[in-house]
Amino acid sequence: MARKVKKEDHRNVFLNLAVPIMQASEPADVQKTKLTASIETTLWDRWTVDAKGLTLKEVMAKVEEQHAGLVVKDVLRGNAPIYFHAIMSAPGREKDKEKALNTPLAELLEAQMGHTNEELDQYVDLTITCSAKDDEAGGIIAGVPVLRANLV
């Protein structure tokens, strides 16, 4: 249960007896990043999606539904790619793209890590890149938080 705590409740006082000085401070507001006109994030944000039994395409669609105005481009686990839009959109990669998008996320993670389904964690943190729906150039937006996918 989250309690409403005021920023002023987290004041800090530093007292140095060697040099007669006392300093008091309050934490600053967290810096917000504006992704679109209606979506703001902070360094502490994390997006969550229930991915149990869902394909990569369905997970991406859920993110786009929860955060209207964004289009998911790339999906990575750590620094290992699961799906790269630029590579999969290259001519001649249509079958690979459809296969990757229609494969359950858990299977893609198993193939990447070499684990079985039983050994997968309850959730996985994914790095996603997004662009704005109305951006024809498809430029990547900075500041998109980590996506936590619940697998069980």
Residue span of the structural domain in which 66 resides: 31-150
pLDDT digits (tens, 9 = 90+) for 22-38: 998 888 888 999 999 89
Which pLDDT score, from 0 to 100, does residue 5 have? 81
6 occurs within a structural domain: no
76 occurs within a structural domain: yes
Q: Is pLDDT above 60 for 118?
A: no
Cα(51)–Cα(16) distance, rounded to whole angstroms?
A: 52
pLDDT digits (tens, 9 = 90+) for 53-88: 999 999 999 999 999 999 999 999 988 899 999 999
Which whole number is the average pLDDT over 105-123?
73
13 occurs within a structural domain: no
94 occurs within a structural domain: yes
Which pLDDT score, from 0 to 100, does residue 26 have? 87
107 occurs within a structural domain: yes
4 occurs within a structural domain: no
What lies within 8 Å, CB to CB, of 47 at 6+ separation is 63, 66, 67, 145, 146, 147, 148
CATH number of the structural domain spanning residue 92: 3.10.290.60
129 occurs within a structural domain: yes
Tally of structural domains, the chain? 1
pLDDT digits (tens, 9 = 90+) for 80-110: 899 999 999 899 999 999 999 999 998 888 8
62-65, long-range: CB within 8 Å, 24+ apart, which pairs?
Answer: 63/128, 63/130, 63/147
Q: How far is CA 8 from CA 15, 21, 24, 106, in A?
A: 19, 21, 11, 44
10 occurs within a structural domain: no
Note if the pTM is more than 0.85.
no
